[in-house]
Structure 1
């Protein structure tokens, strides 16, 4: 990662906290910023709690990008809640503390290991296109509308799924009433959270696209909130109270649903209350593969994440990177890039919503097919034109039409992990797509709306074309790895299409090279979906390695941080590690309530 990241190892973090209630600050006569600055969250100073960039805990762990959200989840665990209870509380808290990345205006994929059932399942809350969506709605004059224009239009907003997914998870796996899991987020929204440095940067960067309602929150009186300023969201607090008091379906059938539909239509979209009322999150099966004798569970379509992660790992496995190449060897980066290019070619050609197109999942991971594709990778030269293969030869079915990839920006998103004393694990990636999503906030309700439908191909005709009620292709890759049937590792990241490569390289750095979790996260990564460019790469890759890879034909383009990985390892105790690019926090629990 870049040198300006703030690493703190496993030390305790001293942070601004928040007051327990709005009335308290009023009674004390304190401004919101003074109140936040004066009261630190006390959980991390308590016995039996370990907080830091890296933390350990025998009885539970929460790792997220937000210190406030991590503490909220850890409190649920400490009070006897299970991993699903804590994950629900974390997601609601992230809606408040990280409104630019996720919330009930978006969707996501929750990968859950149920220790009692010894099964991995998926709670799928991916957004859907409304009934009024059309295959050519992102075209003008036969050409794709520029991304900055199409992702801020009402047509970009998918029917949000996060709230439905949390409701489904609570009903199937939770142990606490969902109402009490919303309360901490209400407190955060009403009383304020300190703006992180990353959020402050995003406000400045994305101010141009925020609608009037969002500007009132993030750019009050025309001045963008700065790092350390209190982010107070009374409209969002009221919305969360409605959800708590009336139930999750309020988002889909009640007052909130009407406000969402009206806002989308005012922005030019077609979404109706009927579209919202039809939405239901689903329980799905993960995609499963193997690497180095470990079982790998990840997200199945409509995410391309799991299939592409496992395919890249399988393409690389016989090269034995850890045995033959240093972690920062130029040939290692070349081989990584070549595997990425082949897997992304298949991704763009064949993957979409399985309710609408048949995805050759078995064929893509068939060992014979992967071996055939691997023959196109050489440590000595570049494949100048990697094309999709033919996985249908290894799986029966009718191939869909080719996709037509179009310009997309790298998204924001967030990922977090939870583990409890019973061995249950949650690996959850959640998003509103771009930073601040579409830039459209629902006036009076504080909900930032996603721009997820821009994940469809703008040009119709392929597996990932826009269709009514269809889910757009995703790159989210929440992953759980198991050894001998026992889960031992979770990993995930934000970053749009770079999510896949971030997850792959975190796994390689830990499993192949034996790096500790935080070192595996910090080890510089690359992103190379098309030949010959290595589109993105991180500082720390030696110049001689770049020169070596360039001699093989690779072109190094842009040096920027990639993703924001967090990881959890389960041995005798849990160990969590949080990437500090976005100031994350790991909280380990040593004891829970009886």
Structure 2
């Protein structure tokens, strides 16, 4: 993208949700950004306008999110990056997931409840987001680290206006568990910041300027590292809740390049994230389990076909059973991916599904998983694509703010099994192990048709990510909906192998009644499920479009050639 290329921005209010989404317009030869927050999308556009490509835009967006959506992601957390390079037609997967400290043990959460554990330093994993961004930049980036950080520094120093989604998140008790956090998120009268107020974050600006000037070493080995080690010793659960991360853990953190997972569905090639993410495996399993069935929404229903939803719930239950038993960090456990994704096995799984009958118990469910994650997707003018899902796990992570530096530490280690599962034939694939990564559900995804890239998307939402990404894939490839139409559909999310399923309030009551009549355990969710950020390209015309989810402050920006 050349400096000075015109930038189109237009936001339209969506009254029911009180959020914003940019106008989605087809246009040839353009760069498109879809992000969950307007200023984050602007930061990516800023990078493209200054000669950066999709990787530089992703770096700027991720740093900006630490300022404008700190409840969901930031340098105190981790991320998965899926990158498509147009010149070589290659897809790369980078795992910047948090890592358990060397002193961690399988039973460290055994006597703690989830809330106690997730709001104490023992839940904090070694952060990977910054190292991941740097690995991408060194491989493909055109801008300097300081340039990538500049929009975020400006936002933090000058202040941002509180958006609807951020205003809602600031009401969470997790935003004010620590005295420093309460000071950060309150105004001068001690009241929680609200919609439309300006939020200035000078300590975060200081941290980002340090990283821009000194580089990542200050974060992983210098003064910020020392501050993180001190901060994560905070606990709400006695000595057992103290964090175990050391300076050695931080100094030795490395992101990992992994081979992406691939699968075929309806003539398309689906490329997604491999373990330690379970999301990609589960989505590919569910798609292949459903492949023998003719799926698609019934005309006129507009809120989902009960038969399709029934079969999808059942396919997801089978995938969740495999997820609970087999998936974890591949460095810690043997994952039988070849078996789990084999056509023979998935054909057998498909034969277990019946159109009008729910399966009996499959396997026990899984442990809680945080929902505060974020997704963004970029395609640049050369056709390079980056799809990123990043997180601090629960809302505001552990709730532990690093004093003097203004960012929150993750609670990612609660994605491990809270109680050890190894034994009696169970490999304990996701038991806590030192220097290993907890299982995730994040699933940034790319879709190809005849070896041409056609779409990239993903979603936040913890375990619900799997259902959301699967449903988006079905809506696009089975129902042949436009992305905008797909984003407006009600969602449902299967949470475990037992079939506990959340549904959005907008799902038609008649559909809910039919599903319950088949024995499905449905709970109406009080919050929206997921927030898909989609970009795509027509294989015939090479025209590009973006679509952002109105469930958050979704924004699309296109840069005209």
Q: TM-score, normalised to structure 2's length?
A: 0.91
Q: Does 1:282 align with 2:261?
A: no
Unaligned runs of 5+ in 2: 1-7, 14-20, 236-241, 423-427
**C-alpha distance in 1, partners of 2:65/2:333?**
33
**C-alpha distance in 2, partners of 1:278/1:194?**
37
> How far does the alpha carbon of each residue in 1:54-102 deviate from its partner, in whole angstroms, 9 at most, with x for none?
2444320111111001011012212321000110001001111111100
**C-alpha distance in 2, partners of 1:382/1:405?**
16
> How far does the alpha carbon of each residue in 1:127-177 deviate from its partner, in whole angstroms, 9 at most, with x for none?
00011111111022xxxx221111011100000000000110000111121
- Structure 1 residues 208 and 64 mapped into 2: Cα distance closer, same or farther (>3 Å)? closer
Query: Which moves more between the two structures, 489-498 or 329-338?
Result: 329-338
Q: Does 1:422 align with 2:402?
A: no
Match of 1:352 in 2: 328
Considering fraction of residues, name the structure with more helix: 1
Deviation of residue 525 (structure 1)? 1.5
Q: Equivalent of 2:231, from 240, 263, 266?
A: 263
Deviation of residue 265 (structure 1)? 2.2
Match of 1:45 in 2: none
Match of 1:110 in 2: 81
Query: Is this contact kept in 2: 1:478–1:492, CA < 8 A?
Result: yes
Q: Equivalent of 1:165, from 107, 132, 152?
A: 132
Deviation of residue 365 (structure 1)? 1.0
Aligned residues, how many? 527
**C-alpha distance in 2, partners of 1:110/1:216?**
33
Query: Is this contact kept in 2: 1:67–1:585, CA < 8 A?
Result: yes
Q: Equivalent of 2:472, from 478, 502, 506?
A: 506
**C-alpha distance in 2, partners of 1:454/1:518?**
34
**C-alpha distance in 1, partners of 2:105/2:78?**
21
Query: Is this contact kept in 2: 1:147–1:407, CA < 8 A?
Result: no
> How far does the alpha carbon of each residue in 1:540-588 deviate from its partner, in whole angstroms, 9 at most, with x for none?
3222222222222113222342111111111222111111111111001
Q: Does 1:585 align with 2:555?
A: yes
> How far does the alpha carbon of each residue in 1:371-417 deviate from its partner, in whole angstroms, 9 at most, with x for none?
00111110021102124xxxxxxxxxxxxxxxx86541541100000
Q: TM-score, normalised to structure 1's length?
A: 0.86
**C-alpha distance in 2, partners of 1:207/1:176?**
35
After TM superposition, list the pairs within 5 Å mapping 1:54-453 onto structure 2: 54-57=24-27, 58-140=29-111, 145-207=112-174, 210-220=177-187, 221-267=189-235, 268-322=242-296, 328-387=304-363, 407-453=367-413
Query: Is this contact kept in 1: 2:30–2:380, CA < 8 A?
Result: yes
- Structure 1 residues 513 and 206 mapped into 2: Cα distance closer, same or farther (>3 Å)? same
Query: Is this contact kept in 2: 1:491–1:568, CA < 8 A?
Result: yes
Could you say what secondary structure the match of 1:296 adopts? strand
Could you say what secondary structure the match of 1:109 adopts? strand
Could you say what secondary structure the match of 1:54 adopts? coil
**C-alpha distance in 1, partners of 2:23/2:177?**
32
Pairwise CA RMSD: 1.8
Q: Does 1:52 align with 2:12?
A: no
Could you say what secondary structure the match of 1:417 adopts? strand
**C-alpha distance in 2, partners of 1:331/1:102?**
36
Match of 2:18 in 1: none
Query: Is this contact kept in 1: 2:161–2:196, CA < 8 A?
Result: yes
Could you say what secondary structure the match of 1:581 adopts? coil
> How far does the alpha carbon of each residue in 1:3-52 deviate from its partner, in whole angstroms, 9 at most, with x for none?
xxxxxxx992279xxxxxxxxxxxxxxxxxxxxxxxxxxxxxxxxxxx81
- Structure 1 residues 453 and 405 mapped into 2: Cα distance closer, same or farther (>3 Å)? farther
Could you say what secondary structure the match of 1:116 adopts? coil
Query: Is this contact kept in 1: 2:175–2:185, CA < 8 A?
Result: no
Query: Is this contact kept in 2: 1:53–1:579, CA < 8 A?
Result: no
Query: Is this contact kept in 2: 1:311–1:364, CA < 8 A?
Result: yes
After TM superposition, list the pairs within 5 Å mapping 1:417-566 onto structure 2: 417-460=377-420, 461=422, 462-530=428-496, 533-560=499-526, 561-566=528-533
> How far does the alpha carbon of each residue in 1:269-292 deviate from its partner, in whole angstroms, 9 at most, with x for none?
111111100001121111111111
Could you say what secondary structure the match of 1:587 adopts? strand
Deviation of residue 530 (structure 1)? 4.0
**C-alpha distance in 1, partners of 2:515/2:366?**
28
**C-alpha distance in 2, partners of 1:559/1:352?**
28
Query: Is this contact kept in 2: 1:528–1:535, CA < 8 A?
Result: yes
Deviation of residue 324 (structure 1)? 7.3
Query: Which moves more between the two structures, 123-132 or 545-554?
Result: 545-554
Deviation of residue 533 (structure 1)? 4.5
**C-alpha distance in 2, partners of 1:59/1:347?**
39
Deviation of residue 361 (structure 1)? 1.1
Deviation of residue 111 (structure 1)? 0.2
Q: Does 1:574 align with 2:544?
A: yes
Match of 1:401 in 2: none
Deviation of residue 180 (structure 1)? 0.9
Could you say what secondary structure the match of 2:169 adopts? helix
Query: Is this contact kept in 2: 1:127–1:452, CA < 8 A?
Result: yes
- Structure 1 residues 98 and 14 mapped into 2: Cα distance closer, same or farther (>3 Å)? same
Deviation of residue 427 (structure 1)? 0.5
